[in-house]
Amino acid sequence: MADLVAQLGLAQSTVSKHVACLRDCGLVKGRPEGRQVFYSLAHRELFDLLAAAEVVLAATGNAVALCPNYGGEDAVAEACGE
């Protein structure tokens, strides 16, 4: 988790909530090793989806992040049923 927090520049609690949502949705799985958990995609076919998402993000830049319909932690919590 510490690597994700450092890479994303977000609070640990925020990253934990996002990872928990992804895990609960069956998109990622965790493999505990000692006090650490190593996360990976639960399905190899998700690599294709992520590659497509990279193309979309490259084309749109920050437009999605700036859109008022898709911003903030409230939208993430709502999407995860919180």
Predicted pLDDT at 60: 79
76 pLDDT more than 60: no
Contacts of 4 (CB under 8 A, 6+ apart): 15, 19, 39
Q: What is the pLDDT of residues 5-60, one digit of tens each?
A: 998 899 999 999 999 999 999 999 999 999 989 999 999 888 898 889 888 888 87
Predicted pLDDT at 21: 92
Which amino acid makes up residue 17?
K
Tell me the domains of the chain and their CATH numbers. Answer: 2-79 (1.10.10.10)
Residues in the chain: 82
62 pLDDT more than 70: no
Residue 55, both tokens: 């193309």
pTM of the model: 0.59
Predicted pLDDT at 31: 94
